[in-house]
Amino acid sequence: MDLNSKTQLQLKIVLLGNANVGKTSLILNFMSGRFLEQQPNSSGASYSFKLMAIKNEQVKVQIWDTAGQERFSGFTSLYYRDANGCMVVYDVTDPSSLQKSVEIFKTVLQVNPRASFAVIGNKADLQYELSVNQTDVKAAFYQALQDNIDREKIFKRIQFLETSAKLGTNVTQAFEHLAEQSVEAGSVHREKQQDEGCFKKKKGGK
Ligand SMILES: Nc1nc2c(ncn2[C@@H]2O[C@H](COP(=O)(O)OP(=O)(O)O)[C@@H](O)[C@H]2O)c(=O)[nH]1
Ligand SMILES: [Mg+2]
């Protein structure tokens, strides 16, 4: 490991999934522990930063929020093609959002096969409306890899987790685990440490 204190590990995580599954809410909860019943509609993509301690090292994690399904077309590949970690989010009360997350997973994997993946079932606090169970989710993602030569390896590395952005359940775990996996996968890059509060966007992550 490079112990030069003037450089810092940089990591890019993107959240993808249907509109309304809770992507913006997950980020808000992770960044500030807050929750809004009426989350203002997000449009386009935006990012925020969090400094995280991973394996005794401070890592600067860039977290990208994207608008939902309607925006998930060719041009958004800009956001995930150089991502180290991809959080694919569905809503545990909405089976169609699971289908969408499987499609997203397949698309991202084609463009960015080195990415680490977390498959996140959000809104787990709505237990009485729960209509998607973990066994079906895992089966759907395993099925999605049927033509992939690295099927077992990729599947084993996917983190499956149910979260509640409302209650804060498993939110930190989801982000921390994905960040750790991304560092372990080794596709992260190092760059000169910036002054606090100031960051220049760097193109390309590999
Ligand atoms: N009950 C519950 N509602 C949630 C949760 N996460 C998000 N929501 C609500 O679901 C709606 C959509 O959330 P939002 O974060 O905007 O979804 P996005 O379109 O994926 O960014 C908002 O009304 C949120 O308050 C959750 O964990 N539990
Ligand atoms: Mg949003």
| CB neighbour class for 90 (10 Å; exposed up to 12, middle 13-18, buried from 19) | buried
**Residue 55: its pLDDT value, please?**
87
**Residue 165: its pLDDT value, please?**
97
- Predicted confidence band of residue 73 (pLDDT cuts 50, 70, 90): low
**Residue 206: its pLDDT value, please?**
33
Q: Which atom of ligand 1 is nearest to the CA of 164?
A: 27
- For the chain, the structural domain boundaries read 7-195
Question: 21 CB under 6 A from ligand 1?
Answer: yes
Residue 151: both structure tokens together: 């099927």
Q: Which atom of ligand 1 is nearest to the CA of 15?
A: 20
Q: What does each C-alpha distance from 34 to 24, 53, 85, 165, 170 come to in angstroms? A: 11, 21, 23, 8, 14
- Indicate the top mutation candidate among 15, 21, 34, 39 to test ligand 1's pocket, ranked by most ligand atoms within 8 A of CB: 39
d(CA 192, CA 10): 10
- Reported residue count of the chain is 206
Question: 164 CB under 6 A from ligand 1?
Answer: yes
Q: Is the pLDDT of residue 189 over 80?
A: no
- Predicted confidence band of residue 56 (pLDDT cuts 50, 70, 90): confident
Report for 47-56, 66-75, 110-119: range of highest mean pLDDT: 110-119
Q: Which ligand is nearest to the CA of 43?
A: 2
Report for 2-16, 57-71, 153-167: range of highest mean pLDDT: 153-167
Q: Which ligand is nearest to the CA of 39?
A: 1
- Predicted confidence band of residue 23 (pLDDT cuts 50, 70, 90): very high
One CATH from 3.40.50.300, 1.10.150.20, 3.40.50.150, 3.30.43.10 for 7-195: 3.40.50.300
Q: Which atom of ligand 1 is nearest to the CA of 163?
A: 27
- Indicate the top mutation candidate among 15, 18, 20 to test ligand 1's pocket, ranked by most ligand atoms within 8 A of CB: 20
